[in-house]
Amino acid sequence: MIEPSEWWFGSLLMYFLVPLGVGALLAVMPWLSRPETWFAVTVAPGFRQSEPGRRVLRDYMKGIAGIILLVLVMQALVLWLSDDRALIGLAHVSGVLFLSLAGLVVFIYCRRQLLPYSQSQSRQREVGLEPPLTARQVIPGPLWLQAIPYLLLVLPMSWVALHFADVPDQVVVHVGMDSVAHGEKSIRTVFGGTAVLLVSLVLVHLVMLVPFFMRRLPNQARRSRGINLILLQVMFIMGVLGGFLAFLPLHGEAWVNPPLGIGLILGGTLLMLFVPVVTGWFVLRSGEPLVVGDRSPDECWYLGMLYFNPEDPALWVEKRFGVGYTVNFARPTAWLGIGALIVLAVGILALTTG
């Protein structure tokens, strides 16, 4: 068992709170979905409050709670029985992955229970004529607000660039469970991590534009604005956290020492998990559906998450479960986009690992 320390205390919180955050996200997913669907199945108005609808929800919640408890117990046993930091780190990552995959299995099981109640009858996607969305309807706050997360990241990077000569020859390149790792001073080691965050901000920002290129449904403006509000909050968290870490090469290990340094890193990570839960619950959770279904056929949603419909010309559709958007995998453009993202990910990996 590893001896306690200030660093270890922060890591211990991360060790258990991250699975709890992922579990909380999984638990609220049914309520954040469009009210016309229930576990990715098109249902009749009022079905959620019916006995079959409530029964499936109870089964889902029991399954998620059981998985969270299992992961926490297994991780506690690893902490208690082992002092191998590599094994403890592996147990943490494996626990979060297992929680996500097991949650998916529970979701698929619940969806299968609801398929007999499906109200979707046509493979053709029905689309009504809705007025075009405007930026004011979809983008939260004034447009200048969108620039602040970039400034929070770019200004510290610029300061470090102006004082590049003061950066020590050995810079901190990684913050671990209870220690930090160092590397040779270079453009890559000094700016690589923050550059990745900057690219991530751009990608998140681009997602905000998806509502302008997808089929418009009743109440679409409200939901799109709510989703974009979550994205904007995540961008602010990324900007603050990235701006703080941008000074890490300049100030060294003292910059991330407990309690302030590790506290900010821990807080930022947890906020990334819990902000969608809280904001989604108050902004996206809605009551009875305005129409039956999201006008996409149930049979084209494989496992309730992958949309493949060659007869639908739309590239973007709203997810059936949870919050966000996905692509119509029957469209060649979708695969081109996925390929571009893979190339981008490989390029970023090459940049950050040398």
d(CA 14, CA 6): 13
Q: Confirm whether 127 is domain-assigned.
A: no
Q: Confirm whether 267 is domain-assigned.
A: yes
List, in sequence order, the alpha helices (H) in 35-139.
51-81, 85-114, 135-138
Q: Count the domains in the chain.
A: 1
- State pTM to two decimals: 0.79
Q: Confirm whether 76 is domain-assigned.
A: yes
Q: Confirm whether 1 is domain-assigned.
A: no
Distances (CA, A) of 75 to 14, 17, 104, 183, 270: 12, 12, 20, 31, 18
Residues 6+ apart with CB under 8 A from 262: 6, 7, 10, 11, 175, 256
d(CA 2, CA 243): 32
d(CA 156, CA 153): 6
Q: How many CB atoms lie within 10 A of CB 76?
A: 13
What are the residues facing 171 on neighbouring strands?
183
Q: Confirm whether 126 is domain-assigned.
A: no
Residue 82, amino acid? S
Supply the range of the domain harboring residue 18.
Answer: 6-121+132-353
Q: Confirm whether 310 is domain-assigned.
A: yes
Q: How confident is the prediction along the chain (354 residues), in pLDDT tens digits per residue?
A: 444 444 455 566 677 888 888 898 899 888 888 778 899 998 888 888 899 999 999 999 999 999 999 999 998 888 888 777 778 778 888 989 999 999 999 999 999 999 999 887 555 555 544 566 777 888 888 888 989 999 999 999 999 999 998 888 888 776 665 566 778 888 888 888 888 889 899 988 888 888 887 766 666 777 888 888 888 988 999 998 889 889 888 887 777 766 666 677 777 777 877 777 777 777 766 554 444 456 688 888 998 889 999 888 888 888 888 878 889 999 999 999 889 888 888 877 776 665
The crossing angle, in degrees rounded to 10, of helices 220-246 and 260-283 is: 180
